[in-house]
């Protein structure tokens, strides 16, 4: 018959409890650190994405301004190069890279015929400096009605 032996000496039990509490606290600290670092990385990605998006928007707006600008001596690029009244003429695409304060944008302006109407397509890809982040935007409009724009 086996007799149960009661241990009356409990001097080391508090050390075991302290180690268990430290282990649990360490696991919680690692979990909180992982959560914060993940949220920070996601926030940084979103910030860079928005900046690249606005660089691309700036590129489209710059191209639209160049297309529509005219003064008394010079007709607009839209009229002189893309010829809205001639639906059979397709001009070669125009491309340019514009350096901005926090990145650059590659712009392509092209024309095509859709439903017997000349359409102008402005594509801009914005690149954020110091990152691999880029965003692409496309805006099209009827060459005869540039104030009505369609964003893709």
Answer yes or no: is 9 within a domain: no
> Cα-flanking dihedrals φ and ψ of residue 136, to 5°?
-115, 130
pLDDT score recorded for residue 9: 66
Q: What is d(CA 148, CA 136) in angstroms, rounded to the nearest whole number? A: 20
Residue 91, in any domain of the structure: yes
pLDDT confidence of residue 16? 86
Cα separations in angstroms, 59 against 45, 63, 102, 151:
21, 6, 13, 13
In which domain, by residue range, is 87 found? 14-151
CA distance 6 to 114: 93
Q: Give the whole-number percent of the chain exceeding pLDDT 70.
A: 93
Instruction: Quote the number of domains for the chain.
Output: 1
Residues belonging to the chain: 152
Residue 7 lies in a domain: no
Q: Which residues in the chain land under pLDDT 50?
A: none
| pTM: predicted TM-score of the whole model, two decimal places | 0.78
Look at residue 111 and tell me if it is in a domain. yes
Asked whether residue 2 is domain-assigned, the answer is no
pLDDT of residue 47: 96
């Amino acid at each position: 018959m086996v007799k149960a032996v009661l241990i009356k000496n409990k001097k080391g039990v508090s050390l075991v409890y302290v180690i268990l509490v430290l282990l649990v606290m360490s696991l919680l600290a690692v979990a909180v650190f992982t959560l914060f670092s993940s949220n920070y990385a996601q926030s940084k990605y979103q910030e860079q994405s928005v900046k690249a998006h606005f660089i691309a928007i700036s590129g489209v707006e710059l191209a639209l301004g160049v297309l529509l600008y005219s003064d008394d001596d010079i007709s607009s690029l839209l009229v002189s190069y893309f010829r809205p009244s001639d639906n059979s003429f397709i001009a070669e695409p125009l491309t340019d890279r514009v350096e901005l304060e926090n990145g650059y944008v590659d712009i392509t302006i092209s024309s095509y015929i859709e439903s017997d109407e000349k359409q102008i397509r402005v594509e801009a890809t914005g690149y954020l400096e110091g990152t691999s982040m880029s965003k692409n935007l496309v805006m099209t409009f009827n060459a005869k009605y540039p104030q009505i724009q369609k964003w893709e």
